[in-house]
């Protein structure tokens, strides 16, 4: 038989040993230590699905109903399934208290079947299956308390480090609350059917177990409240790449040449990213200078130039275009600025719109 993945040890001596060899068998009435050895041997050798199958076979052999057991997660059959396997193998010498725990767990599983039938599509059951490794650890901790009859905080810390986080704790708390509620109901004497399931427990023992389980519940509750959520990675803002100059000027409408003033437009792609551009409307004799607002320079969309500073840009009408245009085209940046400032016509706010009457004189 293929060996299942070994479950980790608890902080107690019984789980520090590794069991190999034949299945443990003893004579006479079982002791608590022998049962613990047997349970750990099964945990080491088999998966929990074997425990479920063993209990189902035991119930069949005793003519008890088994409908709905397949809907319960496998990890809930640990210990009770191994006890059923022990009984099926002919080991009937189990002490009275162990049989009481065995019967009580079977009654609890029958209540779980009722829940599964009433709410077959409850999303929490599917969610619990996804985090079943952590829930298995919670169930193991439950069995440790059941066997030792005490809540050891050091043992809980060990289990928590192995995979009991806030989500697992939150998913397991309803199961634990149900078990504590049943123990309280059994000790009250007001619910005969539940009291009968715990008949092999003394009232004081059962109250002590309920108290220990309450401590276990409080520890899980603290874990749910105090665990800080993991920081989400903040994705850096995506930097939008500028379009290539060829695509920006694709729909730009401008005058390539003008025979009257004998001027020719420069390549409009040079406008993209430039810091200064000079434009001349040949129909209205308007000279426009646009100065970029930042180092990124100009961009073009359709027939409009964007990214210029309105305060440092402007438009003026030219009375002697032949003289002024020559100074703009042949001179430098400072010369062009002086020629523009020397014009006595009104200074108006510049617009970045370009059309078929506008010649692109030069850029800087």
At 132-149, the pLDDT tens digits run: 677 777 888 888 887 788
Note whether residue 345 is domain-resident: yes
Is the predicted pLDDT of residue 244 greater than 80, yes or no? yes
Q: Angle 108-113-119 (CA atoms, 0-180°, nearest 5)?
A: 125
Note whether residue 232 is domain-resident: no
Percent of the chain with pLDDT over 70: 83
Same domain (yes/no): 343, 309: yes
Note whether residue 80 is domain-resident: yes
Same domain (yes/no): 145, 53: yes
Which tokens hold the place of 320?
Answer: 């002697």
Per-residue pLDDT, 83: 86
Same domain (yes/no): 208, 264: no
Same domain (yes/no): 181, 266: no
Q: Angle 210-211-214 (CA atoms, 0-180°, nearest 5)?
A: 85
Number of domains in the chain: 2
At 83-125, the pLDDT tens digits run: 888 888 776 567 777 788 888 888 888 887 765 444 444 444 4
Q: What is the mean pLDDT of the chain?
A: 80
Beta bridge partners of 316: 287
Same domain (yes/no): 291, 184: no
Same domain (yes/no): 144, 259: no
Confidence bin at 238 (pLDDT 50/70/90):
low
243 versus 281: the higher-pLDDT residue is 281
Same domain (yes/no): 95, 195: yes
Query: How would you classify residue 150: left for phi > 0, otherwise alpha for psi between -120 and 50, otherwise beta?
Result: beta
Per-residue pLDDT, 2: 44
Q: How far apart are CA 179 and CA 312, in angstroms?
A: 80
Helices (H) and strands (E) in the chain, counts: 13, 8
Q: How far apart are CA 50 and CA 63, in angstroms?
A: 20
Q: How far apart are CA 166 and CA 179, in angstroms?
A: 20
Q: Are the C-beta atoms of residues 283 and 357 closer than 8 Å to each other?
A: yes
Same domain (yes/no): 176, 77: yes
Same domain (yes/no): 23, 158: yes
Range of the domain at 307: 245-363
Same domain (yes/no): 182, 70: yes
Same domain (yes/no): 191, 304: no
């Amino acid at each position: 038989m293929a060996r299942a993945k070994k479950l980790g040890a608890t902080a107690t001596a019984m789980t520090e040993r590794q069991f190999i060899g034949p299945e443990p068998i003893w004579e006479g009435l079982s002791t608590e230590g022998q049962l613990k050895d047997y349970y750990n041997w099964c945990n080491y050798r088999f998966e929990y699905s074997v425990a479920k199958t063993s209990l189902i076979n035991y119930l069949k052999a005793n003519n008890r109903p088994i409908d709905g057991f397949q809907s319960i997660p496998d990890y809930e059959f640990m210990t009770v399934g191994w006890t059923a396997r022990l009984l099926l193998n002919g080991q009937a010498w189990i002490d009275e208290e162990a049989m009481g725990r065995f019967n009580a767990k079977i009654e609890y599983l029958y209540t779980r079947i009722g829940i599964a039938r009433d709410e077959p599509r409850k999303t929490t059951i599917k969610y619990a299956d996804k985090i079943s490794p952590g829930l298995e650890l919670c169930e193991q901790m439950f069995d440790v308390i059941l066997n030792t009859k005490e809540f050891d905080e050091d043992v809980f810390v060990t289990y928590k480090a192995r995979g009991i986080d806030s989500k697992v704790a939150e998913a397991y708390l309803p199961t634990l609350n149900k078990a504590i509620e049943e123990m309280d109901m059994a000790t009250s004497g007001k619910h005969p059917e539940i009291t009968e399931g715990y008949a092999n427990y003394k009232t004081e023992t059962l109250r002590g177990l309920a108290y220990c389980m309450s401590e276990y519940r409080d520890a899980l509750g603290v874990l749910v409240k105090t665990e800080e959520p993991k920081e989400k990675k903040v994705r850096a803002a995506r930097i939008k790449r500028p379009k290539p100059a060829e695509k920006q000027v694709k729909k730009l409408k401008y005058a390539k040449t003008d025979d009257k003033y004998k001027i020719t437009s420069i390549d409009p792609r040079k406008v993209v990213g430039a810091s200064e551009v000079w434009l001349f409307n040949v129909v209205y004799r308007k000279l426009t200078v646009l100065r970029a607002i930042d180092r990124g320079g100009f961009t073009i969309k359709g027939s409009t130039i964007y990214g210029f500073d309105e305060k440092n840009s402007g438009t003026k009408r030219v009375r002697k275009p032949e003289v002024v245009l020559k100074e703009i085209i042949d001179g430098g940046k400072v010369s062009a600025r002086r020629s523009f400032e020397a014009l006595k016509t009104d200074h108006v706010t510049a617009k970045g719109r370009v059309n078929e009457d506008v010649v692109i004189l030069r850029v800087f």
